[in-house]
Structure 1
């Protein structure tokens, strides 16, 4: 998304020079959200963007991996040879965190790429028993698809709740029941201590050892324990990286070397809105960041827009449409909007009365209005905001 949209936006904004779009995968640039839904369930063969790169005069170089960067020479190294540049946009995304001890074990799968989804499609089609490691967003989405396909699913989470680190326990606890309602078993407080191959080549089986001493047997193990910026190829480049591996971009998405910008899952940026550096691994960040990078390059340094959007993402899981906008911390006041036992409800996070973040389950209007209120730094009347019958925008003071 980030790389392809940067190229498209450059042309749309009048960039006259040559553009090379380099990607390690052999596939044309594609959208990722359908991978855990339609593509995984065999309802779509792929999700390639409908972009005519030839008509845009974009040199699309597929199957080409970046291997290094020499900022002093303004040259990127690839496995097919060096690539000189005047401007470089780093958009290499993120890679799944591997499950310790499971490297090379047949039947263990990540879910990040089109190839990952295609490898998992027969698992779902065969209704195999599946163990999902990690009850985060991707774990919940895969469990949803697997249950829909008729697979028996066990989700294992080392933390004491689903979505640990993303949502507070009081909110995540309300989502726990979704697994049970969908027929998926959720086991929290259990870490995976080992994975071993069993069965036969014709019928591979994985044995998953847990920290409570139990062993689960499954036809496939799907890992969803996080992702890290795919920036290993930048080692020795001199480009500043954070402890999380992200390219440390500034408020214009410029990296630390002249002529280099970074966008999407591989880049973090300082947010004046939230007073901290953010690393956002979501679709909307890749799209909005690409527009900012292209605007900066097309308009020159004087016309570069500041990048400080309200983070946004969505997830479809267990028959529910979940949306989140903003960024919250434990210091923020949490306010329920509706009964979480119902099909639709929201949670607001306020600081000094100002709306900072919002989680909406089946309430898209709350999300749309809340996102605008967050952008404006609007103070809310907490009593009216807690009343789900009152439009959120009407709670503004």
Structure 2
């Protein structure tokens, strides 16, 4: 998404020079969200972007792995030799973290690429017993698809609740009940000791039958290939960019899951592993490549309200903002019901929102976060009051 959107944005904003997209995968560039849904369940063969690359004069070089970059010489090293650049945009995304000790074990899967999804389709079609390691967003989405396909599903999570790294316990605790409601078993506080063909062994001695094991324990920026380049990386491995998404080397930018950037809105450096970030960032990068630095305004600085969504266990979950640093949490609706919202405030201003089955709250709340709007807490907690009407 990030690489393709950068190429398209360059053309839309008037760049007339050569545009080359290098990609390690052999497939036409594709969208990832359908992989854990339609593609996985066999309802779609792929999710290629509807982009006429030839008409836009965008050259695709697919099946070509990049191994390094030499900023001093303005060269990218690839399997087919060096490629010269005037401007370089790093859009290598993130790579899933493997479960230690599971490498090479038959029946162990990751879910990140189209090939991953296609390898998993027979698992669902044959209704294997499935063990999912990790109750994060991808674990929940895969478990949802596997249950829809009729598989027996057990989700194993080392923390004591799902989404432990993403949401407070007071919120995620209610989401734990969704697993049982769907017929999946959720085991929290459960550590994997060993994975063997056909089974997962837990640290407490439990042996779980597993026709397939799907690992969803997180992802890290795919930046190992930048070693030795001199391009600065943050401790989390992300490209260390400024508020224009510029890296530390001249004329090098980064977009999407591989880059972190300073947010004046939240007073923190953000690393956002979500689709919307890969859609928004390229516009900023294209503006800086096409335009002169002196002509750019603060509007061209990248400081978005992060946004993502997830479809799991029959629920549409949406999140906007960044709740770290909030001092107040408000509930809109009953979290044991099918539709509810959580709002986070800092000094009275809305900074983040999680909406379950309440898309209108999300749409209105996202705008209010952008405006740093202050809410009347009494009105904001009344789910019958439109969120925009709760502004003080």
**Which TM bucket (shorter chain)?**
over 0.9
- Cα distance in 1 for partners of 2:327, 2:230 equals 37
- Cα distance in 2 for partners of 1:31, 1:267 equals 19
The match for 2:71 is 71
The match for 2:307 is 312
The match for 2:343 is 348
The match for 1:260 is 252
- Cα distance in 2 for partners of 1:29, 1:279 equals 23
In structure 1, the gaps of 5 or more residues are: 198-205
Asked if the contact 2:326/2:344 (under 8 Å) is kept, the reply is no
The match for 2:166 is 166
After superposition, the CA RMSD in angstroms is 0.8
Aligned to 2:283, which of 264, 288, 291? 291
CA deviation string 1:168-206 (max 9, x = no partner): 111111111100000000000001111112xxxxxxxx2
| Secondary structure in structure 1 of the residue aligned to 2:176 | helix
- Cα distance in 1 for partners of 2:286, 2:207 equals 51
Asked if the contact 2:41/2:121 (under 8 Å) is kept, the reply is yes
- Cα distance in 2 for partners of 1:35, 1:331 equals 33
Please identify, of 188-197 and 382-391, the stretch whose mean Cα deviation from structure 2 is larger. Answer: 188-197
The match for 2:267 is 275
Per the TM alignment, residue 38 of structure 1 is displaced from its structure 2 partner at its CA by 0.3
| Secondary structure in structure 2 of the residue aligned to 1:27 | coil
The match for 2:157 is 157
- Cα distance in 1 for partners of 2:357, 2:26 equals 37
| Secondary structure in structure 1 of the residue aligned to 2:201 | strand
What is the number of residues matched between the two proteins?
389
The match for 1:203 is none
Asked if the contact 1:36/1:142 (under 8 Å) is kept, the reply is yes
Per the TM alignment, residue 331 of structure 1 is displaced from its structure 2 partner at its CA by 4.5
| Secondary structure in structure 2 of the residue aligned to 1:73 | coil
| Secondary structure in structure 1 of the residue aligned to 2:351 | strand
Per the TM alignment, residue 330 of structure 1 is displaced from its structure 2 partner at its CA by 5.8
- Cα distance in 1 for partners of 2:17, 2:55 equals 14
- Cα distance in 2 for partners of 1:42, 1:303 equals 49
Asked if the contact 1:296/1:303 (under 8 Å) is kept, the reply is no
- Cα distance in 1 for partners of 2:336, 2:195 equals 37
Per the TM alignment, residue 332 of structure 1 is displaced from its structure 2 partner at its CA by 2.5
| Secondary structure in structure 2 of the residue aligned to 1:59 | strand
CA deviation string 1:115-171 (max 9, x = no partner): 000000000000111000000000000000000000000000000000001111111
Asked if the contact 2:156/2:188 (under 8 Å) is kept, the reply is yes
Structure 2 matches for 1:141-290, cutoff 5 A?
141-197=141-197, 206-290=198-282
Per the TM alignment, residue 215 of structure 1 is displaced from its structure 2 partner at its CA by 1.2
- Cα distance in 1 for partners of 2:292, 2:308 equals 30
1:390 aligns with 2:391: no
CA deviation string 1:67-120 (max 9, x = no partner): 001111011101111011010000000000000000011100000000000000
- Cα distance in 1 for partners of 2:325, 2:277 equals 23
- Cα distance in 2 for partners of 1:95, 1:191 equals 22
- Cα distance in 1 for partners of 2:99, 2:247 equals 31
- Cα distance in 1 for partners of 2:119, 2:172 equals 30
Asked if the contact 1:295/1:303 (under 8 Å) is kept, the reply is no
Per the TM alignment, residue 300 of structure 1 is displaced from its structure 2 partner at its CA by 2.6
1:332 aligns with 2:327: yes
The match for 2:11 is 11
- Cα distance in 1 for partners of 2:384, 2:182 equals 29
| Secondary structure in structure 2 of the residue aligned to 1:315 | strand
TM-score normalized with structure 1 length = 0.97
Asked if the contact 1:76/1:83 (under 8 Å) is kept, the reply is yes
The match for 1:200 is none
The match for 2:20 is 20
